[in-house]
Amino acid sequence: MVSFVLTLSSTFSRLNLLPKTSLVHTVRALRTLQQRKPTWSLYNSSFKSISAQISTSNLNSPKPHAENVGIGDDLVVLGIETSCDDTAASVVRSNGEILSQVVSSQADLLAQYGGVAPKMAEEAHLRVIDQVVQEALDKANLTEKDLSAVAVTIGPGLSLCLRVGVRKARKIAGSFNLPIIGVHHMEAHALVARLIERELQFPFMALLISGGHNLLILASDLGQYIQLGTTIDDAIGEAYDKTAKWLGLDMRRSGGPAVEELAREGDAESVKFSIPMKQYKDCNFSYAGLKTQVRLAIESRNINAGIPISSASFQDRSSRADIAASFQRVAVLHLEERCERAIEWALKLEPSIKHLVVSGGVASNQYVRARLDQVVQKNNLQLVCPPPSLCTDNGVMVAWTGIEHFRMGRFDPPPSASEPEDSLYDLRPRWPLGEEYAEGRSEARSLRRARIHPSLTSLIQASLQQQA
């Protein structure tokens, strides 16, 4: 078996080392960037050992915003997303125009297994990836030849699934001599807010809530993130999904929307769940304990998840609705409490912050939005919440994040057109977005910090230092 470790790591500044066939790309990319010298490569593996610490002192110094530095408009970028259970592709213009958006979800598999089974998910991605990408191009009325670059999620996520998207992206990029941009999935959830709200400038805060992540970040600049809080166990989306499964809800649209819908019928004060981590005065999250509380409440009421909600008696249904509503209230109270504290911390670091972005699948929940809007208003900030179709996993956010980095000269040259199908890629299943805010480090969290890759922010800082 011929296998190469492809690191997605070649730098734009190394373009002059590329073989002749890449000169067309060099010229095209140089034109696009109007001769701007790139400052950094997102994926240079030489930064692997460097773990830059973020000092709060440099946060208050004025810094150029991406839009001031960035050049290269009139880009058309294809974004591919396969990090979890949705196969998504989209074509986006650098002026923010969404030319197409296609998502194929594995809802049936989710309903069948009550969660994402990596091997099944990989197979499902493989079945539809070509069709999804083709449809995205067709809907945009474009062919690969019209693209400026391909952006693809390289982490965090399930390796087997990420691989499907990366292989497809590299195939297209190799065949059509296009630059490629590896994208951080959670950064994409945050940055898509800048596509829909053009007033949204750095610095801003973001609460990113999905099936696998619960992150509170301070976004100082493009690629510069401070992690104010994260989950020490499960993410809120996982708690919604399990609650839905144990309540016998229809999981075909994923668990979250089903719980949200049923919760509207219930009494949110009826079941006394306790708010997680009250004793920890930090911004981290925990949903494993709440999940257990929900399971015990379900068991004590003899609710049989084998009886689907559609067949439940009136009394059984109302009992399930009470649990759904009570769970949702406490799950979101935990978010509210952490956001309050994070806003306090963030404003001390960056007093000019005006926005809190709330994104990720759970941010499509109307109750979550309404409650967080109150928190934000109380603190004289503005809530920016992408529309639901851009909160759940999608290709638009990947294409847009690709555009943001491409404008800064952060991309890799086209792969070889003859790259073997069984190549190994530098995927980043566990890839922190930013360095942990030192003063907010929690005891609970410090017990569980295994990681594989240095954070996106530390890679960027190391490269900037190298350029200086």
* Binding site partner of 41, from Zn ion, ligand KG4, none, Cβ cut-off 5-8 A by kind: none
Report, in Å, the least distance between residue 336 CB and Zn ion. Answer: 21
Q: Tell me whether residue 210 or residue 328 sits nearer to Zn ion (CB atom).
A: 210
Q: Tell me whether residue 91 or residue 398 sits nearer to Zn ion (CB atom).
A: 398
* Binding site partner of 212, from Zn ion, ligand KG4, none, Cβ cut-off 5-8 A by kind: ligand KG4
Report, in Å, the least distance between residue 414 CB and ligand KG4. Answer: 28
Report, in Å, the least distance between residue 361 CB and Zn ion. Answer: 6
User: Counting Cβ atoms within 10 Å, is residue 374 exposed (0-12), middle (13-18) or buried (19+)?
Assistant: exposed
CB atoms within 10 A of CB 47: 22
Report, in Å, the least distance between residue 362 CB and Zn ion. Answer: 10
* Binding site partner of 256, from Zn ion, ligand KG4, none, Cβ cut-off 5-8 A by kind: ligand KG4
Helix, strand, or coil (residue 226)? strand
End-to-end CA distance of the chain: 42
Q: Tell me whether residue 173 or residue 323 sits nearer to ligand KG4 (CB atom).
A: 323
Residue among 356, 411, 387 at smallest CA distance from 183: 411
Q: Tell me whether residue 26 or residue 364 sits nearer to Zn ion (CB atom).
A: 364
* Binding site partner of 394, from ligand KG4, Zn ion, none, Cβ cut-off 5-8 A by kind: none
CA 233 from centroid of its chain's CA atoms: 18
| Subset of 166-225 contacting Zn ion (CB under 5 A) | 210
Residue nearest Zn ion by beta-carbon distance: 210
Give the sign of the dihedral formed by CA 69, CA 74, CA 76, CA 82: positive
Q: Tell me whether residue 312 or residue 362 sits nearer to ligand KG4 (CB atom).
A: 362
Residue 156, preceding bond cis, omega within 30 degrees?
yes
What would the two tokens of residue 70 be? Answer: 């960035």
What would the two tokens of residue 147 be? Answer: 């693209």
Report, in Å, the least distance between residue 362 CB and ligand KG4. Answer: 4
Report, in Å, the least distance between residue 185 CB and Zn ion. Answer: 6
Residue 81 backbone zone (phi > 0: left; psi -120 to 50: alpha; other: beta): beta
Report, in Å, the least distance between residue 84 CB and ligand KG4. Answer: 5
* Binding site partner of 237, from Zn ion, ligand KG4, none, Cβ cut-off 5-8 A by kind: ligand KG4
Q: Tell me whether residue 353 or residue 397 sits nearer to ligand KG4 (CB atom).
A: 397
Q: What Cα–Cα distance (Å) separates residue 112 from each residue in 120, 235, 251, 292?
A: 11, 21, 8, 22
Q: What Cα–Cα distance (Å) separates residue 180 from each residue in 120, 241, 413, 416, 446?
A: 27, 34, 6, 12, 35
Report, in Å, the least distance between residue 117 CB and Zn ion. Answer: 18
Q: Tell me whether residue 212 or residue 415 sits nearer to ligand KG4 (CB atom).
A: 212
* Binding site partner of 257, from Zn ion, ligand KG4, none, Cβ cut-off 5-8 A by kind: ligand KG4
Would you tell me which residues interact with ligand KG4 (CB under 6 A)? 84, 210-212, 237, 240-241, 254-257, 260, 360-362, 364-365, 392-393
Q: Tell me whether residue 256 or residue 402 sits nearer to ligand KG4 (CB atom).
A: 256
Main-chain phi, psi angles of 227, to 5 degrees: -85, 110
Stretch that binds Zn ion, among 109-117, 216-224, 376-384, 390-398 (CB under 5 A): 390-398
Residue among 189, 229, 223 at smallest CA distance from 203: 223
Cα 217 from Cα 205, distance rounded (Å) = 6
Q: Tell me if 393 contacts Zn ion by CB under 5 A.
A: yes
* Binding site partner of 413, from Zn ion, ligand KG4, none, Cβ cut-off 5-8 A by kind: none
Cα 26 from Cα 428, distance rounded (Å) = 27
Cα 43 from Cα 32, distance rounded (Å) = 21
Q: Tell me whether residue 393 or residue 419 sits nearer to Zn ion (CB atom).
A: 393
Per-residue x/- marks for Zn ion, 107-126, CB under 5 A?
A: --------------------
Stretch that binds Zn ion, among 8-16, 385-393, 405-413, 415-423 (CB under 5 A): 385-393
| Subset of 25-44 contacting Zn ion (CB under 5 A) | none
User: Counting Cβ atoms within 10 Å, is residue 55 exposed (0-12), middle (13-18) or buried (19+)?
Assistant: exposed
Cα 101 from Cα 103, distance rounded (Å) = 7
Q: Tell me whether residue 103 or residue 172 sits nearer to Zn ion (CB atom).
A: 103
Give residues in contact with Zn ion (CB under 5 A): 210, 393
